[in-house]
Amino acid sequence: MVRHFGTWLDEAKKLDFHIEHGPWEERIRRRDQGAPLTQAEMWSLLGEFFPAEMDRQTIVPGAAPALEALSEVADIVVLTNLTDQCQQPRIEQLARFGIRHRVECNQGGKGRPVADLVAEHGNPVTVFVDDLAVHHESVAKHAPGVHRLHMVAEPRLAPSVPPAGHAHVRIDDWPTAQRWIAERFDAGVPADHTEGAVA
């Protein structure tokens, strides 16, 4: 959860993390002058946090049991925009929480890799869950048959994030999301056969 990134910024970098404010680079501010960081500076800090400090992160409530239940009907793949050097640390981190699924790293939009996964697995139902609107737009472009669930599971962050315009639904907790996802698999049809743009 992202608040642990903010704790690290405070302790290690003497930077303030305003979780409720706008784009990521605007959420991180220099303590002496309050000016936001550049996007390049923000990415550099994320590069320091992952993988060295990622053990600070805690699991989203309800995620482990929801994924365990869904794995009975779905092949679960964790598609992360962490760099390749973070793949094994992410696998180990998730395993410590009882989440043992395939992890793939990606940089940039997630639409093309999601389309590749759809082609690989061949099931008519695929559900994509992500917190960033840009990735829902990318998946809508490259894999329109995928059901898209926008989830912002960090309670302090969720109120400041508008629903993703290219997602089919916005759900911010795993028990409710699990039911919605399971319904998609029960129905057994792609998104572009059943739904409009946004629920």
- What are the pLDDT digits (tens) for 128-159? 999 999 999 999 999 999 999 999 998 888 98
pLDDT band at 193 (very low <50, low <70, confident <90, very high): low
- Global pTM value: 0.88
Q: Measure CA 97 to chain center.
A: 17
Task: Say if residue 64's pLDDT is above 60.
Answer: yes
Residues found in the chain:
199
Whole-angstrom distance, CA of residue 166 vs CA of residue 169: 9
Whole-angstrom distance, CA of residue 143 vs CA of residue 50: 29
114 close to 139: Cβ distance less than 8 angstroms: yes
